[in-house]
Amino acid sequence: MARRKCVVCGSKQWHKEPSSGLVACSEGHILQNYRNETNEADDMNTTHVLRRRRLKTGREKKKARGGADPKLYHGARGRYHYFQCQQLILRRQINELRALWNLPPEFEAICRDLWALHLSLLPTPPSPEPYIHAQELRGEASGSTGNLSAILAQNHRPEASKPDLDPDSSVSTTTKQHDDDPELAAMLRENSTASSSSEDEDEGEGGAGTADNPNAQPRKHRGPGSRRKYEAPSSTVAVLALACWVLRVPAMYLDFIRLIQSYDLTYLDPLRFLPAEMLRHLTKHSVQALSPPFPPTTLTLHSLTSRLAKLAGARYGIHVPEANAAPMLWRVTKYMGGTPVLYSLTKRLSGVLSLPLTAHRSMAPGLEVAKKRDPESHIYDDVPPEVALLAATIVVLKMVYGLDGSARTADADDDPACALPRLDDYLAHLRAMEDEEAGETGELFGAANNRSVAAFDDASVDAYLAFCEKALLGPRDEGTGRLAEFFPLEKREALSAGKPDRRAEARVLHAGKVSHEGNGNRPGEHYPVFSARDVLGTLPQPLGLVVARGARWVGVPEAHVGGVVEKYERRFVRWWQTDRRRSRGGGSAPT
């Protein structure tokens, strides 16, 4: 029950006079209609005992003290601290990538700007740090933090939080206190909002809640894991990838994944590189969010990178150039065991198919719309550039070899198939490359390799021990402290199995022969198109070998590569039919 007010002055503070027993307020006004009855029990058997009726003192109930650690940050402050940790990890990743790839100093500046854009383009951008943002609003110096903290502490005193069920008096008191200083009222309101947001924090995102943003969409209306995906540690790798796009570095997403798997790029278990002053404020959910168990996938990184590039262009007018396709295509050709002839044929086919090499398909020119039902873009136009170039390479290989179990023989000396190796030699070359790469350190200790340690030889065991030392203890250095000053450790090279020299044994690949007999199928005839929706179907053994190797190199599932290849094949068939109709009609055929 609320404490009654004095009818004269409105005070709620009462005390009892020791001499007269009357109840008076803080100003001395006597409380009317007050009785103090005392019943004394006599010597007879009676149930009546001493009973007093007095005004309730209105003692405040003791608040239940929770077991929360005051050092842990929650709510808006915890979310801000979460992104601070991500930013520190990003700075370490930038330094590591510059040292590994010999990138220019501009790479760090570009990453810094892209990180700022990423934070501003989040579905729920992080609120500014409460204390620093409040100082900026008031225009105070940095030394006035203590005064602001004292004001906030005074505002949250126990006397200020006594129960009051009278809404009119509460509103009038608050308005009377803050009418003189509206900026202080705004700061206190912001601090109250930040404190209350800890109850609705997002546990999976390291304390990222929606209470600090009243315009944020409720979680039940949001897609599952959408905000968690954009705020995950993989977003820092997406910033690095987009910076490589801007500098036209021919890097693939799997290059970052391999660096992460080899612990050359900080991503797995990054908390050991954060200072203790930052770790002490992380909740268990923030620690879990900052420590992903596995590296991100190629499709996840491309989704984050393309989203950032699209929003940066739509909102801020930032143009991201196309991917550096020439060296990337040569990497695809070289990994698939191809020759410069295969490179030129794939380049020609990519131009015919109009493969988009932009970070997002909306940044590429749209298709020519002749009818209302014509689409403005093709399906699978949003795939990573390396996947698109790989699919075009597989289409060229199917045109030349068929890869369906039936031999293809050229009947003209000027056929490009005559400059490519024979099918048997080419497949043997691919299998030999698979065996050589299986012994490399990166493939040997990768997440996709299930090889047992018992099957390792001596060199592989040494490499495995060196890898475990780097993964568990971090990079070795001379150490810090007084012990390292007087007894420095000697630097030694880490043991490794080394990479096999592929040029040690040169393979002779014989060129295809020309048959003038006219028997059999020529390259490009009886071209089979396999449906990617047929989950129960099996690919021919030659085609399965090529698709599996390509999918493993770009880091996407084989079914995804098969779907892209099928769409490109059907797109090429439509282009071929249009070309033939224009040739018969006397129109200008496409070049």
Query: For residue 24, which phi and psi values (nearest 5 degrees)?
Result: -130, 155
Kindly write down the DSSP assignment for every residue of 148-217, as one continuous string.
Answer: HHHHHHHHT-GGGG-----HHHHHHHHHHHHSS-HHHHHHHHHHHHHHHGGGGEEGGGTSEESTT-TTSP
Task: Choose the weakest-confidence range: 15-24, 339-348, 447-456.
Answer: 447-456
Q: Cα separation of 83 and 575, whole Å? A: 49
Q: Cα separation of 361 and 377, whole Å? A: 8
Contact 242, 384 (CB under 8 A): no
- pLDDT digit string (tens) for 503-539? 445 566 766 666 666 666 777 777 788 887 776 778 8
Top mean-pLDDT range of 53-67, 107-121, 184-198, 204-218: 107-121
591: pLDDT strictly greater than 50: no
User: What is the per-residue pLDDT for 175?
Assistant: 45
- pLDDT digit string (tens) for 321-335? 999 999 999 999 999
Kindly write down the DSSP assignment for every residue of 104-136, as one continuous string.
Answer: -THHHHHHHHHHHHHHHTSSSPPPPPHHHHHHH
Q: Cα separation of 85 and 305, whole Å? A: 20
Averaged pLDDT, 416-436: 86
- pLDDT digit string (tens) for 245-258? 999 999 999 999 99
Contact 401, 336 (CB under 8 A): no
Residue 15: enclosing H or E segment and its boundaries? strand 14-16
User: What is the per-residue pLDDT for 217?
Assistant: 45
pLDDT band at 238 (very low <50, low <70, confident <90, very high): very high
Q: Whose structure tokens read 């700061």? A: 187
34: pLDDT strictly greater than 50: yes
Task: Choose the weakest-confidence range: 174-188, 433-447, 483-497, 574-588.
Answer: 174-188
Partners of 408 in the β-ladder: 521
User: What is the per-residue pLDDT for 315?
Assistant: 92
> What is the residue-averaged pLDDT of the chain?
75
